[in-house]
Amino acid sequence: MPKRVLVGGIWHETNSFSPVKTDLDAFRRYLYLEGEAVISGSRGTNTEIGGMIAAAPDAGLELIPSIYIGAAPSGMVSREVIDLLLARLKADIETAGKLDGVLLALHGAMVAEGIDQADAHVVQAVRDIIGPDMPLVCTIDFHANVESALVEPADVLIAYKTLPHVDMGARGEDAARIISKLIASGKKPHKVFRKLPIITVPQRQPTHESPMREIMAELAEVERDEGILTASVIGAFAYCDVPQLGMAILAYGEKDDAEAAAGRLADAVWSRRAQFKPDLVLPDEAVRRAIAANAGPIFLVEPADNIGGGAPGDGTHLLKALLEGRAREAATVIWDPAAAKAAAAVGVGKRFKGKVGGNTLALHGEPVEIEGTVTFAQAVSYRRDSTWMTGQPADLGLVATVDTGGVKVILTSERAIPFDTLHLRIPGVEPEKAKIVTAKCASAWSGIFGKMAEGHVYVDTPGVCSSNVERMPYTRLERPFYPLDPDTQYP
């Protein structure tokens, strides 16, 4: 008889510096699966639950679907979302009949209204319902901010091992195999959790580049040890002002092996801490360098306004520098529904003059006045054509392009996360023919534009996802913390 395991979860990366609240509607628009749809909507996908479904037959599991929801990275999650999720999980656990375990797919950096440690709150609530003995295994994102309150109620936490993230399915398969082992043995593994007082930024976290490449190689070696069930090195999410921020190590298995593995992985991170420092250039200098290169395209990458990290995407510091620096053959994208509508109303071929961007946060700059010819005005939606999130639908709403003579400003009504080339091509910019192209992201740009780029500069603008952590107004970290306090000691 297969073992009966309930499956569900919630996925949200919360940028606590962003004022854009994440309500139930944001979840309904992005990912909202209930009952059988959890299985039918996840089967065959490279997601955690897709992996659990794929591994279930060999692991001897029958999956009982409950609820699985997610929303795009943004600000604080509404309390009603957490309450709804827990009510559904509780009802499904209570009516499922005999259960042998629970699998949850989580992010680990979710913050909700009145709940700093929202993932821990969910896992503890489920533990309280199922009691102390039933196996409970969770997957989490590489950007989780892990803490004891999350580690304690879960028997095992399994984090992604890649950035850009490509191993969600593989980690879901791990979770299915591991819970099957726990059910069969009736034993709980020894767990070791180490928190490191270091903040690292997405720009320096890709796992195919130093220093994470070497650290992940060490992790792979540690996991070859027979005494280790699973281990994780977690990069954490820097844009969350919570006490549990910071990189973390998890190791599960036999006591001595897990202790040794965690110590070795913590050393691997801490000894490389200086290598996590990003290269950053101020906007005026970045524009000057891009113009001086006199080749193209040069990508000006702006991690501080990283839409994928929850930033608004309407920052104007870089646009201002492009206009003042008299950049030519440049293109940039700004989220501004009102300006897109106003420019579209003027009409293609006509002149538009008006302020754009800078609507969400003073930190991201003032609205900037632009003047030029409207060259495109219509609604834009498509499926992503690039290596990352391929096939996912993208909807930019009404889009208008204003050509100022030097800079083509693409104004969008929905936030255009730069995971494809179509958000530029459809509104009239061929990126390979431009001299300068901006990207409001941290590392994902290189997968899509790396091959066509003649060069790139990471720009140091103020913003809620700044790679310059000195700029972030943390109030709740327990100091000292590296690199804010360069002399921080560990352990």
Q: Are 278 and 304 in contact (CB under 8 A)?
A: no
Closer residue to Zn ion in complex, CB, 164/372: 164
Closer residue to Zn ion in complex, CB, 3/415: 415
Closer residue to Zn ion in complex, CB, 46/375: 46
Q: Are 408 and 331 in contact (CB under 8 A)?
A: yes
Structure token digits, residue 391: 């096939």
Q: Are 199 and 465 in contact (CB under 8 A)?
A: no
Taking each helix axis from N to C end, the angle separating 317-324 and 283-293, rounded to the nearest 10 degrees, works out to: 50
Structure token digits, residue 198: 């270091």
User: Which of 121, 143, 177, 423 is in the footprint of Zn ion by CB under 5 A?
Assistant: 143
CB of 166 to Zn ion, least distance (A): 11
Closer residue to Zn ion in complex, CB, 3/143: 143
Give the C-alpha separation, 430 to 58, whole Å.
48
Nearest to Zn ion by Cβ — which residue? 143
CB of 143 to Zn ion, least distance (A): 4
CB of 341 to Zn ion, least distance (A): 33
- Indicate the DSSP class of residue 90: H
Give one DSSP letter per residue of 135-175, joined into a string.
-EEEEE-TT----HHHHTT-SEEEE---SS---HHHHHHHH
CB of 345 to Zn ion, least distance (A): 38
Three-state DSSP at 92 gives helix
Determine the size of the site formed for Zn ion (CB under 5 A). 2
Residues 397 to 426 in contact with Zn ion, rule: CB under 5 A: none
CB of 228 to Zn ion, least distance (A): 24
Per-residue contact track with Zn ion, 214 to 253, x per CB under 5 A? ----------------------------------------
Q: Which amino acid is at 490?
A: Y
Closer residue to Zn ion in complex, CB, 66/443: 443
Closer residue to Zn ion in complex, CB, 141/257: 141
CB of 167 to Zn ion, least distance (A): 11
Q: Are 416 and 477 in contact (CB under 8 A)?
A: no
What is the residue whose two structure tokens read 């903040």? 199
Residues 123 to 142 in contact with Zn ion, rule: CB under 5 A: 141
Closer residue to Zn ion in complex, CB, 110/399: 110
Segment near Zn ion (CB under 5 A), from 37-45, 125-133, 143-151, 440-448? Answer: 143-151
CB of 13 to Zn ion, least distance (A): 6
Return the closest-CA partner of residue 408 out of 386, 432, 438. Answer: 438
Positions that interact with Zn ion (CB under 5 A): 141, 143
